[in-house]
Structure 1
Amino acid sequence: MRKALSMLKKLSENGNLVNSYQVFTKIFENVYEGIMVTDADKNIIIVNPAFEIVTGYKFKEVVGKNPTLLQSGVHDRSFYLNMWKSLADHDIWQGEIWNRRKTGEIYPEWLTILKIKDENGNVTNYCGIFTDLSERKTVENELKKRALTDSLTDVNNRFAFLEKMNTLLLESSNTVQHAVFFLDLDRFKQVNDTLGHSIGDLLLVEVAKRIKRLLKHKDIIARYGGDEFVITLTNIHHPREAAKFAEEVIREVEQPIMINNQELFVSTSIGISIYPHDGVTTEELVNRADKAMYFSKQNGRNRFSFYFEELNTDNERLIALDTEIRKAIEHRDFELYYQPKVDSKKNKIIGVEALVRWKNEKLGFVSPGEFIPYAEETGLIIPISEIILEKACEELAVLRMAGYSNLTISINISSIHFQQQNFLESIQRILEKYNTSAQNFEIEVTERTVMNSEEETIRKLVRLKQLGFKLSIDDFGTGYSSLSYLVRFPLDYLKIDRSFIHHIVTLDDKQAVVDAIIQMAHRLKMEVIAEGVESIQQINILRDMGCDYIQGYFYSKPIPLDELIEFLQLWEYEHQGEIE
């Protein structure tokens, strides 16, 4: 290596590479990217330590040799011809390339090749600078798979099912028939409540395995919700085939399931719709199969029903929901519950996430999972979001009076609200109304929000930062999940979705993905928040990985303001004042 560095020194003295040998050497030896320099005949004269680490080749093994020793065989001759033509025309080439390590393993890298000339324009050297993309590719492939696959049961998720169904129907004529099944497990809630969610998860995995055994290659299965599955039998000849299949599923599911040496019994209620008789779109077919499933439940469970037209009249709940949600907006009837976020290293509460709750006299407690999607569909989410921010401003004043003036409140912003023309103006108006600083708040947006209209998104995010808001990407891993796009946005935090955290204690591959996400987020100068943390084992693993903040039921469920203040006071007492 010394010999090679002396060669570099001579090159630097001639002004071919850098002006300062000392500065160059420091950078060369410590930079994260691999660097290789050749002479004009493309013989390697120097490589840096990062090159040795990534390729596995030591300096002595490559000096004097041609870089073709790294070729993987993935690219054809035309790829390299185009590369060198670009280099000849523009003095630089950049792109993704697959090379081969000394071990024989092929790997992706982002490579930049520079042509270096002397003052007379003669080529003296070529310099290749590359970044190993293996880690990023592994994470992005896993995230891409997760975007289409249910992480628990390893069948399609809702998004993948809708995509596959839309493709199927697009290619189907009205002369073929498909059967759509909507399954809901009976008494599953009882299993969860009495034996715990971990047992419930194992039960779902076994049910999915049993159903998959009954399917043919072109059939589709997906986990649609908690204990709901949807199935499509393609190209059936008669509805009798759908009825026979439903009977087979019922028999399979009702067989005893052994989990931890304990026999469990569940059954399933099934609804069936037939394409094209009951609908010609995915939404129509799933919706009508769902209605038929509820009819099965109401009529004794553990049975199947075909959709019939009279089921379409059950809209009373939807009408009541629309009426009551509009009244709730008018009277500001929504409440905020708060879940603390804890610094994993200092064991200090640094902020809280505000989560909306709604209890209605007529409808009772309405789950956010029910009223928020409806509010987004109807546009009512915009006034609800504004009410949430207003209430957060009001309750921030109460927190200050209780002595907690430095806690940051994070607020989820709906994609629909974010995309409104007057979004920034409405946010500023509320802050001014309550004489509150944006520095007290963190704005959480989802992946799907920032993926829409990139230029406009960047403009709004930059403006929010200028106002003083902290910004975080929420539920990372549930959307398009491309780590590379994050660098384009001025984000402070990345929140890893709870579905990743759930399995990190038991599944090594999930643990590896979480670890890689944390490290790459840190390289992008973002801090990481893990949500949905429920056990000390998860905390210990996340802390060892360098995760910055922890949020989840292990510390506290979401609680109203008065209980939050009591919780903070107890935390201060037990942890000797450890609150931001």
Structure 2
Amino acid sequence: MDHSDLLWATPTDLHQTSTDSLRELAVSSLTLARQIMQYTREGIAVMDARGRVVGVNPAFCRLSELDAGDIEGCHITNINHDLHERRYYRQIWRRLQRQGHWQGEVQHHTRQGRLATHWLMLHLHRDHRGRVSHIIGILDDISRLKQSEDRLSYLAHHDVLTGTANRTFLLSWFGKVKAALEEEEQLALLFIDLDRFKPINDSFGHGVGDQVLKALAARLLAQVDDNELVARIGGDEFVMVWRGRLGTPQLIRKAEQLLEQLEAPVLVGEYELSVGASIGVSLYPEHGLEIETLLRYADTAMYEAKTFSSAKVCLFDRAQFTRLEQQHRLAGEFRQAIERQQLFLEYQPKLELCSNRLLSLEALLRWRHPELGVLYPDRFLPAAKDAGLLCRLADWVFTEAARQYRCWQQQGCWQGRVSINLSGLELEQHRAGQLLELLRRQGVSPSHFILELRSDFIMRRSESLLGALETFRAAGMAVYLDNVGEGRLSFSKLRQLPIDGIKIDRSLLSDHFDSLDQSVIRSLLLLSQTLGIEVVACGVETAEQMQFLRQHGCSSVQGQLLAAPMTAGQLELFYRDGLDRIRH
């Protein structure tokens, strides 16, 4: 048996050796142990049974930043007395006595003031009688590991680009902070959607877009304290949580002030970019107790603010949620509406004032829902968009309008033109050719049709849309702007648009029909005459309105005074029996 074998020999084995060999082994083992302690990376401290240090290796001195002379003879707890209480060490001692070992984190401040974290393992060494003779401590520096763990934890809970929290951290944080609320305190959850970020990102590139996001996130972070939070939960979507006792008016006013800060331009290089936002607000505990519920409600309010509110800030209410829930329901049912032929068109005549003739009809889309009755486009177009069926819906409208027109031609019932209103439906240049082909497949000429689009839709769209309008006009279709007077309209751009006419919105022909409405209508009629385009006034309901429009040179009218929208069959009867009444 050589010395290396003797090092690990059992007591039984050792009894088989000579006394000289045992002494030689003990000396050799002690020398080897000291050499190992000298060169090992881990710090080693040997203590007596009461915890006083009797020996340390160089690594222990390096990690603790103390000299051996300062450590030896001292109790081990004196090394970290400024960071750990006596109760901490009593717990360690009880664990040692009970289990014979302990391990855990200990900390101390370095000479540079940095907080160093070590992993300390303690083991009891007992003599042959079972009494504790020594305590062996092994120390390892895990500061870098802790930094890596902290960094990984940060990355797991924060958005790398903006430094805000992410959705995961928001969910866990919310549960903790709501449990710590004081009496009458509430949490306001703001769902913030940037309004014009995508065009900036597409036009200037992702690098510029990232800088804009970082600048706006910094503005948001400046508006919260230690008990509040900002999280980025989507590409251009943020959530901010405020805590306090704010009443509703003060809360809305504070949100509007936040909106003003987001509206302020962001300077990126040579670009000065203005984004803006829409904000929806939900409250804990008034609107809900769970974060997912409040997020859904705030998102609903944000959609309401973006779509309907000029202030761009909206507080959640139940009516909004009911409307959104119904939209989700309709979105799920809309594909079946097309397949089961629940969609249909109604037609409303337009009267040419100078000749008292019916020269065109407007095709109006309807959905005969099996439970909700007849639905109008403002109810189901958002659902069709959510279902991704706007293109298919436009195809259906073109095909059905062309099919019905061909039937009327064959019957000799209608020879005028039919307006197809695509307001709210998708339309880009590559779609124009496809839609025109649908008309030709039904054996009708595009020249028998008029295309109507919302004025604000055209005003904000791209060159691709204008190219589509040119394609329709080149095929013989006329193009009209719908809802003029209600939507956004740029008079300078109006001169450049490839259009043949405008439709005055029914809101200008309201019940009171006051002098302001009349002045706006006269201005639009004068402008149209100057540009040489036709004008159709919608929503005409009284003889007074009809006389005013005749007097000031309106081309055509449409409304209840003339005829309500009707099905194809009703229109055929109307065309035969009601035409004389209209002319007189």
Larger Rg: 2
TM-score for the superposition, normalised by structure 2: 0.47
TM-score for the superposition, normalised by structure 1: 0.48
Larger RCO (alpha carbons 8 Å, 6+ apart): 1
